[in-house]
Amino acid sequence: MVSEGENFTQVTEFLLMGLSSDLREQQVLFLLFLSMYLVTVLGNLLIVLAIVTDARLHTPMYFFLANLAFVDICFTTTTIPKMLVNHVTGHKEILYASCLTQTFFFVWFAGIDCYLLLAMAYDRYEAICHPLHYATSVTPQLCSLLVGASWTPSFVNALTHVIFLSRLSFCTHNQVPNFFCELSTLLNLACSDTFANNMTMNTVSAFTAIFPFMGILVSYILIFVAVLRIPSRTGKQKAFSTCGSHLSVVTLFYGTIIGVYFSPMSSHTVQKDTVAALMYTVVTPMMNPFIYSLRNKDMKGALRALISRKPHFIP
């Protein structure tokens, strides 16, 4: 739908084209993504409840993990329910204001994920490189401060993008070749100059994507150097095992983001960008509970206790 202005025609809604126009494929995709969404919400919710109810997991590492699981639930809920509703109703419309709102929360929660992953990398750095001072350096107050700080720059980043986005004109091109209102996709649909938006995406986003990534990279370089100095092979394996889950999540999350936002535009196709978006909006949040629980004995024990309703508490 479009509305007439003085010199241009402004759209009042967008069409989310989704993943397929074939009816049978849509039915399969609905069942698939409904299952993935339920697994994501249930898995991350169990992680949060297990950490809250088991006193053995009241440590900085699990505090950050609980926050990451909560944000992943919010992150996935920003996009998947709308896509499922569209499959059920057969409608593809999303109001202009709703589209900008979805973009805001998507960018916000994605940024929080980046900073939480950085906080978790810092926690591992202190635990491995300064184990004797870990209890005094990574305090509950610092953990709360790091989590609180992860929300603020991400909020500013998301708000900045949406403000700049709201100033653009969208003419007759209102078909979004994706299953949600993704920022770069909307910029490609604009019929006005997007130079300021692209500059904003390349500069402001650096503080919520590149800066945390560089911090994670530096942390693990220092961790790797410290582990190499450990004389025993068992000690090295134990140190690396505490970082394996986090490294897996970082690789999965940042790998897809870099593929979408930092690869040459000439290499982009609608199919590639949609698959990459599915990876970091659906697959990564769904995989996080499995990655952090399958290789972690304490988490396995807490989950078993939670399911059996016999949580462990330290007297």
Domain borders along the chain are 2-307
Amino acid at 304: R
- Looking at residue 315, its pLDDT comes to 44
Beta strand 175-176 pairing with 9-11:
unpaired
Phi, psi for residue 64 in degrees, rounded to 5: -65, -40
Rounded to 5°, angle at Cα 144 from 140 and 147: 140
What is the per-residue pLDDT for 218? 95
Confidence check: pLDDT of 294 > 80:
no
Percent of the chain with pLDDT over 90: 42
Residues composing the chain: 315
pLDDT (0 to 100) of residue 45 = 94
What phi, psi does 72 have (nearest 5°)? Answer: -65, -35
- 261-293 pLDDT, tens per residue? 666 555 556 666 677 778 888 888 998 888 887
- Could you give the percent of the chain with pLDDT greater than 70? 89
Q: Which tokens is 274 given?
A: 């949609």
CA angle at 293 for the pair 289 and 299, rounded to the nearest 5°: 120
33-74 confidence digits (pLDDT tens): 999 999 999 999 999 999 998 888 899 999 999 999 999 999
**What is the rounded CA–CA span in Å between residue 95 and residue 98?**
5
Question: Which of 295, 304, 291 lies closest to 238, judged by CA?
Answer: 295
Q: What is the Cα–Cα distance from 77 to 82, expressed in whole angstroms? A: 8
- pLDDT higher than 70, residue 234: yes
Bridge-partner residues for 144, per DSSP? none
Written as one letter, the residue type at 210 is I
Q: Given this structure, which CATH class describes domain 2-307? A: mainly alpha
